[in-house]
Chains A and B, each alone.
Chain A
Amino acid sequence: MADNERNDASFEEEDHRVAFIFNAPNQTLDSPQASKLSGDAHPAKRRKTTKAEQQETEQADSSRLSAAGTGTTFPVLFNGAESLEAARLRRELFERSWPVLEGRIQRVLREANTNTLDEVSSFLQQAAETETDKLTAGFIITGPNIASQDLLFEQLAERLRTAAQARFVRLRAAEAPNLKAVLKKIIRDATARTADEEEGVDVDVMTQGGRKYLDYDLEVLHVFLKNQKQQQHQRRVVVAFQDSEAFESGLLTDLTALFHSWRDRIRFDLLFGVATSVELFQARLLKSTARQLYGAQFDVVQAHSVLETVIRTAVAGTQATVRVGPALLRSLVERQQDQVAGVQMFVSSLQYAYMCHFYANPLSVLLTDAAVLQRREGGGVLQPEHIQAVRTLDSFQAEVEAAVEARQLGHAQSLLEDDDYLVARIREQGQKRREYVLQLLRSLHLVVSSGLSSASFTDLYTLALSSGIAISQASGTVPLEDAIKRVEPDEFLALTTRLLSAIHTGSPDLGLDGWAAAAEDVVLSLTDLRDEVEGLIERSKSNNSTGGPNKPRPTLKSKYSAQSRILRTTVVAQKVQLSHDSATLTDEDKAYTAAIDTLYALLHETIHCAPAITDAEHNLFLHEAWFIDTTSTSSSSSASLFRDIFVPRPGATFARALARPHDYLGCACCGRKKRKGRGDRASGPGLGTVLGTSPATAVLHQLLLETGALVNVADLWTAYSALVAKQGQSGEDGEDEDEDEDEGRKRELLVGFYRGLAELRVMGFVKGSKKKVDHVAKVKWL
Chain B
Amino acid sequence: MARKKSATEAPALRASRKRDLSPDPYDIPEENETPKRRKRSEATVAVAADGSDGDENGTIEASNPTIQLTPAKRRGRPPKSATAGTPKAQATTPKRRAQKPLAETPIRLNGTDTPSRRNIADRSARRKSARALIDRVIGGEVSDDEVEGGDIAREIYESSEEEDEEVQEEVAVGEGEGEEEEDAQEPETPSKTPGRKRRTTTRKRSPTPPRDLPPHEQYFYQNKPGLARTSNNTLSSLNLLTHDEYFTIIRQLKDPHAANVTSLESFHAESFPQWAFELSQGFSTCFYGYGSKRRLLHNFATYLASQDPPTQKIVIINGYVRTLTQRDIISTLASALPSSSSSSSSSAPRPTTLQSLLTTLSSLSPPTITLTILINSIDAPPLRRPALQSLLTHLASHPAIHLACTADTPDFPFLWDAAQRASFNLLFHDCTTFATPAPCELDVVDEVHELLGRKARRVGGKEGVAFVLRSLPENARALFRLLVGEVLVAAEEGQGGGGQPGGGGGGDEEMAVDYRMVYNKAVEEFICSSEMAFRTLLKEFHDHQIITSHKDSIGTELLSLPFRREELESILEELTT
Interface residues of A (CB under 8 A from B): 1-5, 7-8, 11-12, 14-25, 29, 31-33, 35-36, 39, 41-42, 44-45, 48, 50, 59-60, 62-64, 66-67, 71-72, 74-75, 145-150, 172, 174-175, 192, 195, 199, 243, 340-342, 344-345, 348, 351-352, 355, 359, 644-648, 650-651, 653-655, 657-658, 661, 664-667, 669, 679, 683-687, 693, 695, 697, 705-715, 717-718, 747-748, 750-752, 754-755, 757-759, 761-764, 766-768, 770, 772-776, 778, 780-782
Q: Measured between C-beta atoms, what is the minimum distance from A380 to chain B in Å?
A: 25
Q: Measured between C-beta atoms, what is the minimum distance from B300 to chain A in Å?
A: 10
Chain B positions 303-345 with a Cβ under 8 Å from a chain A Cβ:
303, 305-309, 313-318, 321, 323-325, 328-329, 332-333, 335-336, 345
Q: Measured between C-beta atoms, what is the minimum distance from A628 to chain B in Å?
A: 16
Q: How far is the CA of A711 from the CA of B223 in the complex (A)?
A: 12
Q: Measured between C-beta atoms, what is the minimum distance from A498 to chain B in Å?
A: 38
Residue of A with least CB distance to B272 = A63
Q: Are A679 and B212 in contact, CB atoms less than 8 angstroms apart?
A: yes
Given contacts A21-B336, A687-B211, contact A762 B230 (CB under 8 A): no
Given contacts A657-B289, A714-B233, contact A67 B410 (CB under 8 A): no
Q: How far is the CA of A42 from the CA of B235 in the complex (A)?
A: 42
Given contacts A18-B317, A664-B264, contact A764 B444 (CB under 8 A): no
In the complex, chain A residues whose CB is within 8 Å of the CB of B281: 351, 355
Q: How far is the CA of A490 from the CA of B218 in the complex (A)?
A: 67
Show 10 A/B contacts (Cβ-Cβ < 8 Å), sorted by A. Answer: A19-B315, A42-B267, A148-B422, A175-B387, A344-B425, A650-B412, A712-B233, A713-B451, A714-B233, A750-B241
Q: How far is the CA of A519 from the CA of B265 in the complex (A)?
A: 60
Q: Measured between C-beta atoms, what is the minimum distance from B55 to chain A in Å?
A: 36
Residue of B with least CB distance to A744 = B249
Q: Are B262 and A31 in contact, CB atoms less than 8 angstroms apart?
A: yes
Contact with A along B415-455 (1 / 0, CB 8 A): 00111011101111110101111101011110110111100
Q: Are B421 and A651 in contact, CB atoms less than 8 angstroms apart?
A: no
Chain B positions 265-322 with a Cβ under 8 Å from a chain A Cβ:
265-267, 269-274, 277-278, 281, 283, 286, 288-291, 295-296, 298-299, 301-303, 305-309, 313-318, 321
Q: Are B207 and A706 in contact, CB atoms less than 8 angstroms apart?
A: yes
Q: Measured between C-beta atoms, what is the minimum distance from B213 to chain A in Å?
A: 7
Q: How far is the CA of A142 from the CA of B141 in the complex (A)?
A: 51
Q: Are A714 and B238 in contact, CB atoms less than 8 angstroms apart?
A: yes
Q: How far is the CA of A352 from the CA of B429 in the complex (A)?
A: 13
Given contacts A32-B269, A63-B270, A754-B241, contact A654 B410 (CB under 8 A): yes
Q: How far is the CA of A782 from the CA of B219 in the complex (A)?
A: 9
Q: Are A32 and B258 in contact, CB atoms less than 8 angstroms apart?
A: no
Q: How far is the CA of A764 from the CA of B269 in the complex (A)?
A: 27
With beta carbons under 8 angstroms apart, the residue of A20, A75, A345, A751 that contacts B241 is A751
Q: Are A17 and B318 in contact, CB atoms less than 8 angstroms apart?
A: yes
Q: Measured between C-beta atoms, what is the minimum distance from A745 to chain B in Å?
A: 11
With beta carbons under 8 angstroms apart, the residue of B245, B271, B336, B436 that contacts A747 is B245
- Supply 9 further A-B pairs (C-beta < 8 A) apart from A18-B324, A717-B238, A768-B450: A19-B317, A35-B262, A355-B277, A657-B289, A667-B256, A714-B235, A717-B235, A750-B238, A766-B451
Q: Are B302 and A25 in contact, CB atoms less than 8 angstroms apart?
A: yes
Given contacts A1-B255, A42-B263, A667-B260, contact A147 B308 (CB under 8 A): no
Given contacts A11-B298, A658-B290, contact A36 B270 (CB under 8 A): yes
With beta carbons under 8 angstroms apart, the residue of A4, A192, A653, A705 that contacts B258 is A4
Q: Are B418 and A648 in contact, CB atoms less than 8 angstroms apart?
A: no
Residue of A with least CB distance to B437 = A759
Residue of B with least CB distance to A30 = B299
B171 at the interface (CB under 8 A from A): no
In the complex, chain A residues whose CB is within 8 Å of the CB of B251: 1-2, 5
Interface residues of B (CB under 8 A from A): 207-209, 211-216, 218-219, 222-223, 227-235, 238, 241, 245-246, 249-267, 269-274, 277-278, 281, 283, 286, 288-291, 295-296, 298-299, 301-303, 305-309, 313-318, 321, 323-325, 328-329, 332-333, 335-336, 345, 355, 359, 363, 374, 386-387, 390, 407-413, 417-419, 421-423, 425-430, 432, 434-438, 440, 442-445, 447-448, 450-453, 467
Q: Are B209 and A706 in contact, CB atoms less than 8 angstroms apart?
A: yes
In the complex, chain A residues whose CB is within 8 Å of the CB of B422: 147-148, 150, 342, 344-345
With beta carbons under 8 angstroms apart, the residue of B231, B308, B450 that contacts A72 is B308
Q: Are A18 and B323 in contact, CB atoms less than 8 angstroms apart?
A: yes
In the complex, chain B residues whose CB is within 8 Å of the CB of A149: 419
Q: Are A768 and B260 in contact, CB atoms less than 8 angstroms apart?
A: no
Q: Are A710 and B303 in contact, CB atoms less than 8 angstroms apart?
A: no
Top 6 closest pairs, chain A to chain B, by CB: A24-B305, A147-B422, A758-B447, A648-B428, A19-B332, A15-B440
In the complex, chain A residues whose CB is within 8 Å of the CB of B255: 1, 4
Q: How far is the CA of A42 from the CA of B258 in the complex (A)?
A: 14
Q: Are A751 and B250 in contact, CB atoms less than 8 angstroms apart?
A: yes
Q: Are B254 and A774 in contact, CB atoms less than 8 angstroms apart?
A: no
In the complex, chain A residues whose CB is within 8 Å of the CB of B308: 71-72
Q: Measured between C-beta atoms, what is the minimum distance from A468 to chain B in Å?
A: 34
With beta carbons under 8 angstroms apart, the residue of A5, A11, A172, A646 that contacts B427 is A646
In the complex, chain B residues whose CB is within 8 Å of the CB of A715: 230-231, 233
In the complex, chain A residues whose CB is within 8 Å of the CB of B359: 195
Q: Measured between C-beta atoms, what is the minimum distance from B233 to chain A in Å?
A: 4
Q: Measured between C-beta atoms, what is the minimum distance from A140 to chain B in Å?
A: 15
Q: How far is the CA of A755 from the CA of B421 in the complex (A)?
A: 32
In the complex, chain A residues whose CB is within 8 Å of the CB of B290: 653-654, 657-658, 697, 763
In the complex, chain A residues whose CB is within 8 Å of the CB of B233: 712, 714-715, 718, 774
Q: Are B208 and A706 in contact, CB atoms less than 8 angstroms apart?
A: yes
Q: How far is the CA of A429 from the CA of B324 in the complex (A)?
A: 58
Q: Measured between C-beta atoms, what is the minimum distance from B264 to chain A in Å?
A: 6
Q: Are A755 and B444 in contact, CB atoms less than 8 angstroms apart?
A: yes
With beta carbons under 8 angstroms apart, the residue of B306, B317, B355 that contacts A24 is B306
Q: How far is the CA of A1 from the CA of B231 in the complex (A)?
A: 35
Q: Measured between C-beta atoms, what is the minimum distance from B179 to chain A in Å?
A: 45
With beta carbons under 8 angstroms apart, the residue of A172, A653, A684, A708 that contacts B230 is A708
Residue of A with least CB distance to B470 = A13
Q: Are B321 and A18 in contact, CB atoms less than 8 angstroms apart?
A: yes
Q: Measured between C-beta atoms, what is the minimum distance from B545 to chain A in Å?
A: 12
Q: How far is the CA of A22 from the CA of B444 in the complex (A)?
A: 27
In the complex, chain B residues whose CB is within 8 Å of the CB of A757: 447-448, 451
In the complex, chain A residues whose CB is within 8 Å of the CB of B437: 759, 762
Q: Are B315 and A693 in contact, CB atoms less than 8 angstroms apart?
A: no
Given contacts A355-B278, A763-B410, contact A665 B261 (CB under 8 A): yes
Given contacts A145-B418, A147-B418, A755-B444, contact A767 B451 (CB under 8 A): yes
In the complex, chain B residues whose CB is within 8 Å of the CB of A67: 272-273, 303, 306
Q: Measured between C-beta atoms, what is the minimum distance from A297 to chain B in Å?
A: 22
Q: Are A712 and B418 in contact, CB atoms less than 8 angstroms apart?
A: no
In the complex, chain B residues whose CB is within 8 Å of the CB of A29: 299, 302-303
Residue of A with least CB distance to B263 = A42
Q: Are B432 and A21 in contact, CB atoms less than 8 angstroms apart?
A: no
Q: Are A754 and B332 in contact, CB atoms less than 8 angstroms apart?
A: no
In the complex, chain B residues whose CB is within 8 Å of the CB of A344: 422, 425
Q: How far is the CA of A774 from the CA of B332 in the complex (A)?
A: 42
Q: How far is the CA of A196 from the CA of B437 in the complex (A)?
A: 49
Q: How far is the CA of A757 from the CA of B305 in the complex (A)?
A: 36
Q: Are B410 and A651 in contact, CB atoms less than 8 angstroms apart?
A: yes
Q: Measured between C-beta atoms, what is the minimum distance from A360 to chain B in Å?
A: 9
Q: Are A747 and B249 in contact, CB atoms less than 8 angstroms apart?
A: yes
Q: Measured between C-beta atoms, what is the minimum distance from B228 to chain A in Å?
A: 4
With beta carbons under 8 angstroms apart, the residue of B219, B265, B303 that contacts A781 is B219
Q: Measured between C-beta atoms, what is the minimum distance from A654 to chain B in Å?
A: 4
Given contacts A21-B313, A147-B419, A147-B422, contact A711 B230 (CB under 8 A): yes
Given contacts A39-B266, A42-B263, A150-B419, contact A665 B434 (CB under 8 A): yes
